[in-house]
Amino acid sequence: MTATALERPRDAIDDILADYPNAGREALIPILQDVQDREGFLSRESIGRIGQYLGLPASKIYGVATFYNQFRFQALGKNHIQVCRGTACHVKGSLSILDAVRHELKIEPGQTTKDGQFSLEVVACIGACGLAPVICVNGEFFATMTTAQLRQILEDFREGVQ
């Protein structure tokens, strides 16, 4: 006998959805945020269940979620890189830093490398504008980044030096 939704033990997604009784599509973004906060990312299964709950097709949910940088569709890597794209960092060249990360790791923002070593996220100002351009890896800030420094930092994290 196959398990039905009713037989499935209540889990974190059920708890989150229960916080949004009679919700419509206006609740989509907060629900996605809650699920990501809890699970770390938006899995295919989570998206399907949110869609069922809100009466929205998964394609619609992906369409909305991919519009926002904040959502991830893969689990975070062992090393989570956040590249600041706020104004001060932008003026000081953060786009070239972001491009260098994308090039070095061959992933886009919101993705994780196949080996699970790195994930990449683009963030707005992270409150260290005097250090621009700045990146954050696993909560540690790296100031006045250059592409050469970036390569060294990636190498150090890859080898577990950091």
Chain contacts with ligand FES (rule: CB under 6 A): 84, 86-89, 125-129, 132, 134
Least distance (Å) between residue 136 CB and ligand FES: 9
Q: Which one, 27 or 97, has the nearer CB to ligand FES?
A: 97
Q: Give the pair of three-digit tokens for residue 94.
A: 């953060």
Amino acid at 53: Y
- Alpha carbons 90 and 95: distance in angstroms, whole number: 6
Q: Which one, 86 or 109, has the nearer CB to ligand FES?
A: 86
Least distance (Å) between residue 141 CB and ligand FES: 9
Phi, psi of 2 (to 5 degrees): -85, 145
Q: Which one, 56 or 88, has the nearer CB to ligand FES?
A: 88
Least distance (Å) between residue 134 CB and ligand FES: 5
Strand-pairing partners, residue 83, are 122, 135
Q: Which one, 54 or 153, has the nearer CB to ligand FES?
A: 153
- Alpha carbons 121 and 119: distance in angstroms, whole number: 7
Q: Give the pair of three-digit tokens for residue 160.
A: 């577990």
Least distance (Å) between residue 57 CB and ligand FES: 37
Q: Considering only CA atoms, which of 149, 151, 147, 123 is closest in space to residue 136?
A: 123
